Structure 1
Amino acid sequence: MIEVNKKQDCCGCTACAAICPKDAIIMKEDNEGFLYPTVDKENCIDCGACERVCPIIHTAKEKPFEQAAYIVQNKDQKILRESTAGGAFTAIAKYVLHNNGVVFGVELGTDLMAYHVAVEKENDLYRFRNSKYVQSSVGGVPIDRLSPS
């Protein structure tokens, strides 16, 4: 069963809540507006799925590697102005969409909350532009879209 005693021991990714087979974990907002897991111990079956999926408990070991850097800048000036990383995401996303893929990203809602959503049309890619330096909500992402049809 996942338990967060120190805030630095949780990144608020909601993976534990999403994987819980009994919906025994809910994300509760603290006084600063960040989400942390709370376990309903009566519904928890101690399956350990929440601990296995936690990226803080199971950090990947760093492996030294030679780094290479690439500079990417979108040729479309409008996209470039609306983007924070040279418009690379839009170019890659267009490629995915043109090959019958689905693109997942984060948009800022009218409530100023960041939400993970899926798009299937190039005209919807604007939703993902600009930085969002806030915790995002992955709830509602259609997981079944990840399965091949």
Structure 2
Amino acid sequence: MTYEAIMDMKYLDQVVNETLRKNPPFGMLSRETTLNYKIPGTDCILEKGTSLHIPIYAIHHDPEFYPNPSKFNPDNFSEEAVKNRHPIAFLPFGAGHRACIGVRFGMMQVKLGVIIGLRKFKYTLSPKTRQPIKLQSKFFVAQPEGGIWLNIESVD
């Protein structure tokens, strides 16, 4: 498996990104303004030093950006869909100079893990997994209530 081969797997990228959209690792970002900022189209000014909470989960589930947001749809990350959507509508690892510095490495590890895992094993949901999956709201990092239980069988 080469880096180039993994980068050519466009649908895998779409699936991973759609998973991150539906279940972002963090539900919100906290930031502080460094300058006064007038919100376009309003008379509201955010003064320098104002604390902001950016609701990642809400943005990722906004039907303005993602039609039928509760449905898992990898086509939300087709080239055309991404091109036609505001770039800040997808923030699983933040954005700008404060974005996660390990995102490329982490994404490569996830994709490689999925590829290797699917080559050797078959996965099905255990009846122990609650459906639909609900995220616990009391934790900083998203966690499913009751966990996700899988049945794993070797395909060899």
TM-score by length of 1: 0.29
More helix by share: 2
TM-score (norm 2): 0.28
Question: Greater RCO between the two (CA within 8 Å, min separation 6)?
Answer: 2
